[in-house]
Amino acid sequence: MKRFVAHYLYSSSNVFHQYIVEVENGEVITFYPFSEEIESTVWLNGIIMLSLTPDYAFHHNTLLSDLIAKMTDGTNSKNPFTPVYAYFLSNVNFTNMTITEKSELIKLSDS
């Protein structure tokens, strides 16, 4: 199991500020507010998005709002037996919340 924390966590229509996501066997097992330092938590400078999609193709010309809406669709009302995956979007321009040419989308894993 591995823990990640980022500035923002998106899940369907919800946005959370400074949340921890726990990933085990490539799937999200839980997420909760960051309240204190927990050993071995990986800090990420960007956005974590929860998704039902096991592999997502990323295009730099996509609007950030469209990417978030498409990737996180259905994550709040999922069947408890459906796996949820976490993706990290790096190099986001937080001033105007846009994707940059240097942005990368990385599927989070515990390996």
Alpha helices in the chain (DSSP H): 64-72
Using one digit for the tens of pLDDT, what is the confidence trace for 44-94?
A: 999 999 999 999 888 888 888 899 998 998 877 666 778 999 999 999 888
State the Cα–Cα distance between residues 82 and 52, nearest whole angstrom: 8
Model pTM greater than 0.85? yes
- From residue 87, give the alpha-carbon distance in Å to each of 36, 44, 56: 23, 11, 9
Residue 13, Cβ neighbours under 10 Å: how many? 11
Tokens at 108, concatenated:
């989070």
